[in-house]
Copies of this chain bind each other. A is one copy, B any other.
Amino acid sequence: MTVRKIERTPSAYDYPLLIKNLLRPPMRYFPHREIVYKDRVRYTYQDLDRRIAQLAHALNRIGVRKGETVSVMEWDSHRYLECFFAIPMMGCVLHPINIRRPPESLVHTLNHAESRVILANADFFPALESIKDRLDGPKTIILITDDGIFPETALTVIGEYESMLTQHDDVFSFPDFDENAMASIFYSTGATGSPKGVCFSHRQLVLHTYGVMAGLCAYGFHPSVNADDVYMPLTPMFHVNAWSLFYLFTLLGAKQVYPGKYDPKAILDLIVREGVTFSHSDTPMIHTLVNCPDIRGFGLTGWKVIVGGAPLSKSVCRAALSLGIDICSVYGMAETGPLLAASLLKPEMRSWDPERQVDVRCRTGIPSPMVDIEVTDIKGTPLPHDGKSIGEVVLRAPWLTQGYAKDPEKSEKLWSDGWLHTGDIGFIDADGYLQITDRTRDAIKAGGEWIDTMALEDLICEHEGISEAAVVAVPDEKYGERPMAFVVLKEGYRDRMTEEDLREFLSARVKAAGLPGRGIPDKIAFVETIPTTSVGKISRKQLLEKQSPVPFDLKNGP
């Protein structure tokens, strides 16, 4: 037998999950709350609603139709917010352009997204002019400008954003359509290859909004948010769909503040003047902020900041807490909505001593409602949540991208076995928090077991004679991969320490740490320095390239 589906009488309204419906509660609850852009614009949610309608009329008038892509190239502004609603609500696809990528990337993504219209800030006209002849067909440009000045340009500019809006009616009848309609496409710039097109549907973005709302609002976790918060994004709006978090704060009817082009002093002033209580940011920005000489005078107490991108270090976390900033780490990727997990404190953790709380706040995070996270062994079997079983992090959630645009091969690789493969390695502890320890391309798959290179490096560095270590996967006939260690010895140990000494030192420790026995490196190279990348990470690539020929026989398995 099979399940019985509910019957639907012909006239029944089968409610689709559409972005337009996120706008209704704030209009009903808090129509007079404010949206602020720098020191230039201040208006209410009612105004937002009207301007979204006007923008839709304006785009409609210039011939933009359902299913078409509209690109936006703009600083963080109320206008960007308007685009994130109006464009998908018309049945079109919003394409936020990464303003930091080189011209080739701009050409590739604009052509790949097949956009015909670009809403562009005048600041980006030179970039667009430089590539305009390499685009597939002409693009219609709508000028965005704060000062109302029309720049001289070789681009085809059809009008200016504000003056186009004022020509139109402030009510628009946004249509219903399939909730699986594409709402946005943006490009993820991976470590290799061309940028990959990531798409989200209306349904996905609505469910992301309610799922994240649940995690941040309903569980008494700390920090938490509600409609009384004041929101200011501090990751650029072109970045992974602006984290899709403006949808949550709009649904909440919270006051919102948009800082324009990033200017640290202006941002700090805005936080204080507008009473900002919640932001999302990345680790480098917070690192810079907490190290500002005059920061202590600014009164940032109570500012809640969730931090993504790179792991939050305990020292930055402590520094932020000492400034009164309520900081925690979040986990997500371009492909995942983006939010998956946050290192929120459970209610019972509020009474823990601060240092123990720091430990939680710097974990990768506890999964949001609707997000299933597992760590799996090589065969794809989920491992226990015991704080030590390390495996590949795989995901299911209602808002994960269902594939890369026009890239069936990478799409299938992302989703092999029906789970989204993050490429991260980690464990889940008994409290339910995920901890990422490695990336799959760094971690080592040795005969069906994951070997955590960072854990192994830590163990090696416990030897008093060793100052630095890096562990790299090298091919192995029997196990597929085995670890190889690159070790920098301290002065007094240079001539007397052998590979065998280190293996002996490691043998008991590897077992005690719960690492597989085959984690003890078969080959060890003593080197002068460990090469690092521009952001200070170990460059495993350089290690492998520069040390070649690798000092052991590839055929000689252990």
Interface residues of A (CB under 8 A from B): 1-15, 17, 21, 24-25, 28-30, 65-68, 91, 93, 177-178, 180-182, 199-201, 204, 207, 210-211, 213-214, 217-220, 226-228, 251-253, 346-347, 366-367, 369-370, 372, 396-398, 400-403, 405, 408, 411-412, 414-420, 432
A181 / chain B contacts, CB cutoff of 8 Å: 3-6
Bound-state CA distance A30–B220 (Å) is 12
A117 to chain B minimum Cβ distance, whole angstroms, is 14
Task: Specify which of B17, B24, B29, B417 is in contact with A11 (CB 8 Å cutoff).
Answer: B417
The CB with the most chain B CB atoms within 10 A, among A2, A21, A218, is that of A218
A419 / chain B contacts, CB cutoff of 8 Å: 13
Q: Are A29 and B402 in contact (CB under 8 A)?
A: no
Q: Are B12 and A403 in contact (CB under 8 A)?
A: yes
A308 to chain B minimum Cβ distance, whole angstroms, is 20
A401 / chain B contacts, CB cutoff of 8 Å: 6
Task: Specify which of B65, B405, B418 is in contact with A13 (CB 8 Å cutoff).
Answer: B418
Copies of this chain, tallied across the complex: 2
Q: Are A11 and B398 in contact (CB under 8 A)?
A: no
Q: Are B415 and A29 in contact (CB under 8 A)?
A: no
Q: Are B227 and A67 in contact (CB under 8 A)?
A: no
Q: Are B218 and A432 in contact (CB under 8 A)?
A: no
Bound-state CA distance A214–B251 (Å) is 10
A65 / chain B contacts, CB cutoff of 8 Å: 1
A492 to chain B minimum Cβ distance, whole angstroms, is 49
Q: Given the interface contacts A65-B1, A181-B5, does A219 sit within 8 Å of B13 by beta carbon?
A: no
Majority secondary structure of chain A interface residues (helix, strand, loop or mixed): loop
Q: Are A210 and B220 in contact (CB under 8 A)?
A: no
Q: Are B219 and A420 in contact (CB under 8 A)?
A: no
Task: Specify which of B1, B199, B210 is in contact with A66 (CB 8 Å cutoff).
Answer: B1
A414 / chain B contacts, CB cutoff of 8 Å: 9
Q: Are B398 and A17 in contact (CB under 8 A)?
A: yes
A24 / chain B contacts, CB cutoff of 8 Å: 369, 372
Q: Given the interface contacts A3-B178, A397-B15, does A219 sit within 8 Å of B227 by beta carbon?
A: yes
Q: Are A14 and B219 in contact (CB under 8 A)?
A: no
Closest B residue by C-beta to A433: B28
Q: Are A366 and B4 in contact (CB under 8 A)?
A: no
A213 / chain B contacts, CB cutoff of 8 Å: 213-214, 218
Q: Are A9 and B403 in contact (CB under 8 A)?
A: yes
Q: Are B178 and A5 in contact (CB under 8 A)?
A: yes
Task: Specify which of B7, B180, B369, B411 is in contact with A405 (CB 8 Å cutoff).
Answer: B7
A15 / chain B contacts, CB cutoff of 8 Å: 370, 396-398, 400
A2 / chain B contacts, CB cutoff of 8 Å: 66-67, 91, 177
Closest B residue by C-beta to A228: B220
Q: Given the interface contacts A11-B412, A12-B411, A418-B13, does A182 sit within 8 Å of B4 by beta carbon?
A: yes
Bound-state CA distance A415–B9 (Å) is 8
The CB with the most chain B CB atoms within 10 A, among A211, A227, A405, is that of A227
A7 / chain B contacts, CB cutoff of 8 Å: 199, 402-403, 405, 411
A346 / chain B contacts, CB cutoff of 8 Å: 29-30
Task: Specify which of B4, B182, B217 is in contact with A67 (CB 8 Å cutoff).
Answer: B4
A-B contact pairs, 15 of them (CB 8 A): A1-B67, A4-B93, A7-B402, A9-B408, A12-B403, A13-B418, A15-B398, A24-B369, A25-B369, A28-B366, A28-B432, A213-B213, A213-B218, A219-B253, A220-B228
Task: Specify which of B9, B25, B180, B408 is in contact with A5 (CB 8 Å cutoff).
Answer: B180
Q: Are B9 and A201 in contact (CB under 8 A)?
A: no
Task: Specify which of B6, B11, B228 is in contact with A347 (CB 8 Å cutoff).
Answer: B228
Bound-state CA distance A369–B177 (Å) is 20
Known A-B contacts: A1-B68, A15-B370. Give 13 more (CB < 8 A).
Answer: A3-B177, A4-B67, A4-B181, A5-B178, A6-B401, A11-B415, A12-B411, A12-B418, A13-B400, A13-B415, A15-B397, A217-B226, A218-B226
